[in-house]
Amino acid sequence: MAAHADVPLEQWRDGVARVDVTALDGAAGDLPITLAEPAHLRLEGQHVHVDRLEVNAGMTRLSASGELALMERDPAGIRNSGSGIRVTATGEGRSRCVHASRARSTSR
């Protein structure tokens, strides 16, 4: 893994950081989890960007990309509906796509 940031720690919200993950070898129970190819993520403009994430979970390939705002909300308290992380799972003759975004807080 390699990481690079261009900002003083106190000003992380205004900075740019990049993380490149080159290897992952883990498990969820008895399901092996490996990185299919290098992953590229970045923090920029108070958004987390998943430029590319490809993971093998047993015989299933998970692909993710997209962006999520960390702090921004509109006046109604709802995050930008155009942002989100798109996750696609492909394997064993099935393909499924899930669009994930951070749920809005219901506490007041």
Is 106 domain-assigned? no
**pLDDT greater than 80 at residue 30:** yes
Q: How many domains does the chain have?
A: 1
Residue 11 in tokens: 């000003």
**pLDDT greater than 70 at residue 99:** no
The answer to whether 14 and 6 are in contact (CB under 8 A) is no
Element (H, E) at 75: none
Q: Residues 47-91: pLDDT tens digits?
A: 889 999 999 988 899 999 999 887 765 444 455 556 788 989 888
pLDDT score, position 79: 54
Is 108 domain-assigned? no
Task: State the pTM of this model.
Answer: 0.68
Full residue range of the structural domain in which residue 60 is found: 2-100
Handedness of CA 79, 51, 48, 101 (dihedral sign): positive
Is 62 domain-assigned? yes
**DSSP assignment string, 10-46:** GGGGG-EEEEEE---EEEETTEEEEEEEEEEEEEETT
